[in-house]
Amino acid sequence: MEPERISSKEAHEKVKSGKCTLVCAYEDEQKCKLMTLEGAISLAEFKRRLPSLSKNQEIVFCCA
């Protein structure tokens, strides 16, 4: 399955409505802090939450 690209506007709307989890795709926490979008969690935080996420949960990864 190929990843689907969406606009930052669409990602923001999905996060705001609670329809997806937005993840900053950078391993480097400092880089993530500098480039993160509103509502995004770090990749490290995503990995910590992964066991509790539903298999139906939409996940959007963002990067510059």
Q: What is the pLDDT of residue 25?
A: 87
CB atoms within 10 A of CB 30: 8
State residue 44's pLDDT score.
Answer: 92
C-alpha span between 35 and 56 (Å, rounded): 27
64 versus 29: which is more confidently predicted? 29
Residues 10/29, Cβ–Cβ less than 8 Å = no
DSSP state of 37: P
Distance CA 27, CA 30 (A): 9
Please tell me the predicted confidence (pLDDT) of residue 35: 73
Residues in CB range of 6: below 8 A, 6 or more apart: 14, 60
Kindly report, residue by residue over 1-58, the tens digit of the pLDDT.
788 888 888 988 999 998 899 999 888 888 887 876 778 899 999 999 999 999 898 9
